[in-house]
Amino acid sequence: MTVDWLIASNNAGKSRDLQACLAYAGVTAQPYFNQFDRLTFPAETTTSYVDNAIAKARFGASQLGVPVIADDSGIEIPALPRQFGVTTARDLGVAVSGFDRNQEILQALRQVPDGQRQAVMRATLAAAWPDGRVVVVQGTVAGYLAHFQLGQYSGGFDRLFWLPHYGRTLAEIPAPWRIPLTHRGRAALKLITKL
């Protein structure tokens, strides 16, 4: 593929992760703010990952005049049914560090036993062109939430997200093996089949 994509996000951490996932899938991309002034994206007002991702992607493509990829993602925790999911960033605050977000989740789960600490991470990627075309894919990963933050290979929720089959958190797995296991990595692998 010869198309270079820009990532339509002001979140540097998410942009780095998405860039790595897209590279793993064979797509060359970089944060839009490496080339352009920062945009003020529309506020997320829906309860739909798909709608949020499409809105960000369409806005980015129309403002920048180039193809972009946007992400909307979240963590869903059945033991905390009224929190997180599509509103994860809004619930935890976009300015809060990944470490502090994780600590807040651990605090909310402090009385929840191991067998009830299930979680799903979801990612929706929307690729948009300036002419209005949009392609949308989704990826998920299911696991459990650890009692402590573990791992140095990645950050964010990966440091909490325990995969029983591997006996470790996502952040304890080096990138070449971790990326295809993650929600965003799985979405990126789907996206390349549609671009």
Catalytic center residues: 72
Q: How many other C-beta atoms lie within 10 A of the C-beta of residue 145?
A: 24
Residue 88 CA to residue 153 CA, distance in Å, equals 22
Q: Could you tell me whether strands 68-76 and 5-7 are parallel, antiparallel, or unpaired per DSSP bridges?
A: parallel
Which of 10, 102, 108, 100 lies closest to 56, judged by CA? 10
Beta bridge partners of 112: none
Which of 167, 32, 161 lies closest to 101, judged by CA? 161
Query: Distance of alpha carbon 154 from its chain centroid, rounded?
Result: 13
